[in-house]
Structure 1
Amino acid sequence: MANFEALGLVETFGLVFVLEAADAMCKAADVELVGYENTASGYISVLVRGDVGACKTAVAAGVKAVQEMEDGNLYSSVVIARPHQDLEKIIARYSLDKLLG
């Protein structure tokens, strides 16, 4: 994670909500969409990375987008500044690069 200072995550219920969050996150700030994970029982997390300010802006935009949707079901959100390098092992598992081969 040498080039990235932060991770931003939004978790919500359902594909439509997470797509709306991801779209808002990528449009709101200069972040890279890393991937997503269907965690359990329909909950899906989307992950972006970039500098701390961009991730904070992106996560705020994703949260707002979900909350503005009818029946928007936001489960959680977080920005992790300066994540430990070992988190890359987890991130790599859910990377879009891996999914797209």
Structure 2
Amino acid sequence: MSRYNALGLIETFGIVFVLEAADAMCKAADVDLIGFENVASGYISVLVQGDVGACKAAVEAGIKAVEDMNAEVYSSVVIASPHQDLEKIISRYSLDVLNA
């Protein structure tokens, strides 16, 4: 995670909405999709990484995309300069781990 300055996350309900959010996030800014997590009972979080400005733009675009589908974003955050130990948590949600 050392080459990235920020993490961006959105949580919504349902795979359709989280895919729409992820698509909008990746198209709106120069971010890398880390992965997703089915949190509980249909709540799903999507994680991206990049520089702070890109993550902010990506999260804003993802929120708008979900809201444009008349759905609700339950939570969102941009974490600037995440602590290196967060890698222990987010690596669990990496698409690379899921494809291994």
The 3-state SS of whatever aligns with 1:24 is helix
Q: Across the two proteins, how many residue pairs are aligned to each other?
A: 100
* Rounded Cα–Cα distance in structure 2 between residues aligned with 1:48 and 1:97: 13
* Rounded Cα–Cα distance in structure 1 between residues aligned with 2:66 and 2:73: 6
Q: Which residue of 2 aligns with 1:87?
A: 86
The 3-state SS of whatever aligns with 2:30 is coil
Give, in angstroms, the shift of residue 97 of structure 1: 0.3
- Aligned AA (2:14): G
Give, in angstroms, the shift of residue 18 of structure 1: 0.1
Give, in angstroms, the shift of residue 41 of structure 1: 1.1
| Identity score, percent | 75
Q: Which runs of 4+ in 1 moved over 2 A?
A: none
The 3-state SS of whatever aligns with 1:64 is helix
Mapping for residues 51-62 of structure 1, pairs under 5 Å: 51-62=51-62
Q: Which residue of 2 aligns with 1:5?
A: 5
- Aligned AA (1:98): V
- Aligned AA (1:87): L
* Rounded Cα–Cα distance in structure 1 between residues aligned with 2:59 and 2:73: 12
Mapping for residues 7-46 of structure 1, pairs under 5 Å: 7-46=7-46
Root-mean-square deviation over aligned CA pairs: 0.5
* Rounded Cα–Cα distance in structure 2 between residues aligned with 1:84 and 1:74: 25
Give CA deviations for 1:51-101 in whole Å, capped at 9, x if unaligned. Answer: 00000000000000000003x121110000000000000011110000011
- Aligned AA (2:90): I
